[in-house]
Chain A
């Protein structure tokens, strides 16, 4: 169940692939929505670590357009609720993530992404 929170932290790490290697592009995804406990503190703690544009674009790829294009300065309840839903309640169960630069494809199966590299891809 790759969630968008995790997706926002994963970059392609193939040897030599150091630019334009994020965000990974979702392909052929199967999505499940599952409720998670709302935790405003967690969201606020985590916000500075997010790549905002990547999050908004990836959410759009998965059909959710509830987030504003610019990260707002005021964190109101409605925004936090939407952020909570996007980060924690959308689960990608099957499919793959492809590097926009080197095109390495990381498969997702039963919700677990396989980020292992092949022999010639490690440094």
Chain B
């Protein structure tokens, strides 16, 4: 195994390691990260990983949305003295470039800008390497990178270049591959999409989700809350075939004759991979059998801009109205079509439990369920995720996208059983009848909590009292 330096993009820190691991699993190669918690700290933009071949570096750079570039790792240190000492010891790795290889030097910093005169000093301090090839800034044969990592100075004002040279670590290596997956974030930009809605998922996250599903050619992937299809496009772009369903066909259709999902898919050249989109309620679904899909990926509606719905009524009809309903159904009037059945809200924590059960039924063994779960930051505990698990399903990644008082967690669950399970019964749970001993997950009644501004119960009570005369 050889060591490589990964330079990450400044986004979605908690998603970095799960993405690396997913892509390694997709292409079936080993990746080894340091055991030191400090070295795995997701807030640091540089990470040393070990891989068996440079080919694996290229696969990571081709597929990981969060990778900016990957370098062959020569050395690092808390000072330049240490770095140079270590780099000299790695002479066997770079001496073949000494005689006549054209090269370029990059000197950059994280959380800081190095003044130009010191950038020059840094480059000159590597003079002992004795490269004889010419410097070529446009098309060099090799690129050497030197990166200083500074501590965050969040929100503090400071003088220009203040603290220059006061870095935590400096890293040095040779560029192997620039990340080529990152530009996909622009390609899938929702604003440039021919069809989208107010709940469409941003491009970068939907690409990260697609990587978590291990999407590739030959696979069939299902989105049970398809909406405007945000999940489908990147998954199909990576080669998988997609099946989608939604209780509300209008979301998938849009207003023109050609359904919106197919128009957007055509824009990305993947229309033929969207196998079909169907209108049905996932709690009353027509799937003939289980074990169909390689992955299920979805962004379930959590009630802020759009609430989850399932077939049924909020209140049961009384006998008279029920008779009237049956009368209308047996003799429909011409203006009564298409018939739109009544729906009732689908509480988020119930939906999450059902979704995991449904995934266990519909996934092939080893298949993955990838979805977003909103949560209240103050109330979240890791056990929340486990309140929705069932036998045969295992959490393999759980990354937070933090919005302050709330956030959403990208949860990846793997089906670890090859046993056959029956489809879930989707029974309507009595939301009031709570088992006292069981923890109430923070995502329960998320909508209500969101519109109360995530205040604690006592604060809401106090506020209600203050409105009394």
Contacts and interface: CB of A to CB of B under 8 A. Distances in A.
A119 B341 contact: yes
Contacts of A42: 217-220, 241
Nearest to B249: A112
A41 to B, nearest CB: 4
A69 to B, nearest CB: 21
Contact of B259 (A41, A88, A107, A110): A110
Given A42-B241, A45-B220, A10 B286 contact: yes
Interface string A20-35: 0010000000000011
B219 A13 contact: no
B307 interface: no
A114 interface: yes
A121 to B, nearest CB: 8
A113 B278 contact: yes
Interface string A35-57: 11101011001100101000000
B68 interface: no
Given A34-B272, A41-B217, A117-B341, A12 B329 contact: no
A67 interface: no
A51 B342 CA distance: 33
Given A10-B288, A12-B286, A117-B341, A110 B220 contact: no
B287 A10 contact: yes
B258 interface: yes
Contact of B289 (A2, A36, A49): A49
Interface in B62-102: none
Interface in A64-123: 88, 107, 110-120, 122-123
Interface in B168-183: none
A13 B284 contact: yes
Contacts of A39: 217-218, 241
B311 interface: yes
Given A10-B286, A117-B284, A117-B341, A112 B277 contact: yes
Contacts of A118: 329, 339, 341
Contacts of B277: 112
Nearest to B218: A41
Contact of A6 (B262, B275, B329): B275
Interface in B256-283: 257-259, 262, 272-273, 275-281
Given A116-B311, A123-B284, A6 B218 contact: no
B272 A115 contact: no
Contacts of B276: 1-3, 5-6, 111, 113
30 contacts: A9-B287, A9-B288, A9-B292, A10-B278, A10-B286, A13-B286, A37-B273, A39-B217, A41-B217, A42-B219, A42-B241, A49-B291, A51-B288, A110-B253, A110-B258, A111-B276, A112-B279, A113-B276, A113-B279, A114-B279, A114-B280, A115-B278, A115-B285, A116-B247, A116-B281, A117-B341, A118-B339, A119-B312, A120-B325, A122-B311
Interface of B: 217-220, 241, 243, 245, 247, 249, 252-253, 257-259, 262, 272-273, 275-281, 284-289, 291-292, 311-313, 325-326, 329, 338-339, 341-342
Given A35-B272, A120-B326, 18 more contacts: A6-B243, A8-B288, A10-B286, A10-B287, A12-B286, A34-B272, A39-B241, A41-B218, A49-B291, A110-B257, A112-B252, A112-B253, A113-B278, A114-B280, A115-B278, A115-B280, A116-B281, A116-B311
Interface of A: 1-3, 5-6, 8-13, 22, 34-37, 39, 41-42, 45-46, 49, 51, 88, 107, 110-120, 122-123
